[in-house]
Amino acid sequence: MSNSIDTRSINAIRILSADAIQKANSGHPGLPLGSAPAAYTLWAKVMNHNPKDPNWANRDRFILSGGHGSMLLYSLLHLFGYGLTKEDLANFRQLGSLTPGHPEYRHTVGVEATTGPLGAGMAMAVGMAMAEKHLASVFNTENYPVVDHYTYVLGGDGCMMEGISYEAFSLAGTLGLSKLIVLYDSNDISIEGGTNIAFRESVQKRFEAFGFQTLRVEDGNDPDAILAAIEEAKADTTRPSMIEIKTKIGAGCPAKEGKASAHGEPLGVENVAALRENLGWEDSTPFAVPQDIYDNYAAIAAENAKAEDAWNELFAAWRSANPDLAKLWDEYHDENYAEKLYDDEAFWHICDAPEATRNVSGKLINYMKDKIPNFFGGAADLAPSTKTYMKDMGDFSKETPEGSNLHFGVRELAMAAIGNGIWLHGGLRPFVSTFFVFSDYVKPMARLSALMQAPLTYVLTHDSIGVGEDGPTHEPIEQLAMLRALPNFYAFRPADAMETAAAWYFAETSKTKPTALVLSRQNLPQLAGSSKEALKGAYILEDSTKETPDAIIIATGSEVQLAVEAREKLLTDGIDVRVVSMPCMDLFADQSADYQEKVLPAAVTKRVSVEALSTFGWERYVGLSGKKIGMTGFGASAPGGKLFEHFGITTDAVIAAVKEQF
């Protein structure tokens, strides 16, 4: 395979990467130089992909987990004709460019996932492979493998050191994700020097223990050996595969090859020139690539397009032969499908007795599973507690990939990333779940959900000091403030069944906003005034009889009932207050200024917030003179009811806080 045009096409990736990083005077040349042969071999000789249709449903997926090496991916996208121009490459890392420092999903065509936090791409690749396996089990029929593609992920030593990779690959091996192939850019270098200062394990043996097929390519500059290894990986139909490819960081640059300094800084003008000379690259003009190399890439892309043409014929024949499955396919891929729940009265009135919102959510999940066919999710070994198990839907496993219940094991961080990967793959509406306090483990990947505008749903239960006896390690305090601080992330803390339904409706109809449902362990009453107005983030639950209320009490979740009780007692003392339920601050902030003024008129400055979590952030709505009832320290171990009394989160405390302002 290693004829002149292939070698020169590989070197084009290296030259473009080095030139872009040098022009930006910022970036990571080491990975693109070392991994160019592996990337070219994969994209040119193995992968099914079509630059003219980047969203082809049955394309092979490629994730660059080592996102710092983004110029490797941008060079491939440019050379294969995905729309990146030389000007885009020359604007690498510049404001508004299509070539940001790390690859960003939705921003650059051909980028399958936002990567950069090491290991995240590895875990998202596992999610994509899970989605492929499940969808194949649902839709493939004899002679019609309409879902039949691979997920490839490339990363280096840093990705292998991160704990998220351990979590995700342990699950991948358990699930037998045979269409997941991991390319390990193994160059024995990290930022601080040789990896032996902190990383001496056998990665091969670790992956063997996970249940992977493990392969090794001794010379990462040998495309034939790389191709043979990938084909051997594909031939294993029972296990995922990891190919360790021994490379040299900064390969081809005489002064930098094999050195830590090649990782994260430009090569330097003289070293870029030396790279050209060493590779036999004659043109010294930055970003100049000979036409015959472009022609080679174009010919490969044209040949790849035939794979989609063949699949389109197969898909059309499958639709004709399987009209019921074809209808189901359309439902799976209709992003507006869940909107029909808005007029479904049974959905909005799932229960009428006092109930923990986690239980309400469980009932809603088991209602929606029959209404939303591509509902797919589970918990980090907590489904009995988070109430996220879907009855009669089966478990997704190596043996039963058609099941819809996911068992992530005690792996919260990987769970969130895998959920992202499932959504990114397309065709499924995933949710993940754990205790709210463990959103600390989830948060880095929830941040990626928000950044990618991936509307993954997070079911987070045991929402306050109401957890009780488990004590401060399991009682969330600051976590809701943390999630509220995330841009483009919508955290709901519903007060009853109606608000819980609103939270689920928002989550399932959202196209760009990930959602957290923060749910109670203890029973909560159904509130007479609750309504679909919860879809505005905050609304008037019980109003003053006066045109201008004497005061406003704003509450969320289990504390809304305290606000309602306080209003009744205050009225007997001649103080007429409004109660505002605010299940989602972020959503309320999206409403018009007129609506916000209607709910929280500026003229009413006497305000109290009530929430059995950190009071951080409530100044936004109660002002500096308002009162905040909540937690200013950690919780304690005792029955939940006792803790509310102990920490002063009571009806009497709300009444006192209102009266103090008169």
For the segment 582-590, the average pLDDT, to the nearest whole number, is 98
Query: Would you call 375 helix, strand, or coil by DSSP?
Result: strand
pLDDT higher than threshold 70 for residue 3: no
Q: For residue 555, name the pLDDT band (cuts at 50, 70, 90).
A: very high
Instruction: Assign 380 a pLDDT band (cuts: 50, 70, 90).
Output: very high
Backbone phi, psi, residue 534, to 5°: -55, -25
Contact 588, 596 (CB under 8 A): yes
Helix axis angle for 120-139 and 439-452, nearest 10°, is 80
In the predicted structure, residue 648 carries a pLDDT above the cut 50: yes
**According to the model, what pLDDT value does residue 443 have?**
98
Question: Which tokens in the block code for residue 59?
Answer: 């394309």
Partners of 182 in the β-ladder: 153, 242
CB 434 within 8 A of CB 386: yes
Contacts of 477 (CB under 8 A, 6+ apart): 465, 613, 614, 631, 633, 634, 635
Q: Would you give the DSSP letter of residue 236?
A: -
Confidence check: pLDDT of 493 > 80: yes
Q: Which of 162, 167, 412, 533 is labelled catalytic? A: 412
Reduce the secondary structure of 20-88 to three states and give it as a string.
HHHHHCCCCCHHHHHHHHHHHHHHHHHCCCCCCCCCCCCCCEEEECCHHHHHHHHHHHHHHCCCCCHHH
Beta strands 375-379 and 539-542, pairing class: unpaired
In the three-class reduction of DSSP (H, G, I as helix; E, B as strand; rest coil), residue 214 is classed as strand
pLDDT over 70 (residue 490): yes
Separation of alpha carbons 49 and 504, rounded Å: 35
Q: Is it the case that residue 2 has pLDDT exceeding 90?
A: no
Residue-averaged pLDDT of the chain? 98
The model's pLDDT over 135-188, given as tens digits with 9 standing for 90+, comes to 999 999 999 999 999 999 999 999 999 999 999 999 999 999 999 999 999 999
Helical (H) or strand (E) element with 12: helix 4-24
- Both tokens of residue 606? 């006497």
427 contacts 374 by C-beta, under 8 angstroms: yes
Confidence of residue 541 (pLDDT cuts 50, 70, 90): very high
| Angle, vertex CA 443, rays to CA 118 and CA 489, nearest 5 | 115
Q: Give the Å distances, CA to CA, from 388 to 277, 311, 364, 368, 517.
A: 60, 36, 10, 12, 12
Nearest residue to 432 (alpha-carbon basis) of 422, 558, 169: 422
Binned at pLDDT 50, 70 and 90, residue 653 comes out as very high
pLDDT digits (tens, 9 = 90+) for 80-90: 999 999 999 99
d(C-alpha 29, C-alpha 263), whole Å: 6
Measured in Å, how far apart are the chain's first and last C-alpha atoms? 84
Q: Distance (Å, rounded) from C-alpha 119 to C-alpha 80?
A: 26
Q: What is the mean pLDDT of residues 504-513?
A: 98
CA distance 635 to 643: 8
Residue 419 reports pLDDT greater than 60: yes
How confident is the model at residue 646, as a pLDDT? 98
Q: Which of 468, 484, 480, 490 is nearest to 534 (CA)?
A: 490
CA–CA separation, 47 and 34 (whole Å): 20
Q: For tokens 């439902």, what's the residue?
A: 331
DSSP three-state, residue 258: coil
Residue by residue, DSSP assigns 555-604 as E-GGGHHHHHHHHHHHHHTT--EEEEE-S-HHHHHTS-HHHHHHHS-TT-
Mean pLDDT of all residues in 246-254: 98
Distance, in Å, from the CA atom of 569 to the CA atom of 166, rounded to the nearest integer, reads 55
Question: b/e map of 265-279 (b: 16 or more CB within 10 Å)?
Answer: bbbbeebbebbbeeb
Distance from the Cα of residue 476 to its chain's centroid: 22
Is 412 among the catalytic positions? yes
Sign of the alpha-carbon dihedral angle for 401, 404, 409, 410: positive
1 pLDDT exceeds 50? no
Q: What is the mean pLDDT of residues 515-523?
A: 98
Token representation of residue 572: 């007997």
Find tokens 């699930």 and name the residue. Answer: 175
pLDDT at 34: 98
Angle, alpha carbons 630-632-633 (nearest 5°): 125
| Whole-number Å distance between alpha carbons of 86 and 79 | 10
Q: What is the C-alpha separation between 453 and 447, in angstroms, rounded?
A: 10
pLDDT in tens, 147-162: 999 999 999 999 999 9
Distance (Å, whole) CA 241 – CA 656: 64
Q: What angle do CA 355, 360, 361 make, to 5 degrees?
A: 150
Largest CA distance in the chain: 91
Backbone φ/ψ region at 34: left (φ over 0), alpha (ψ -120 to 50), beta: alpha
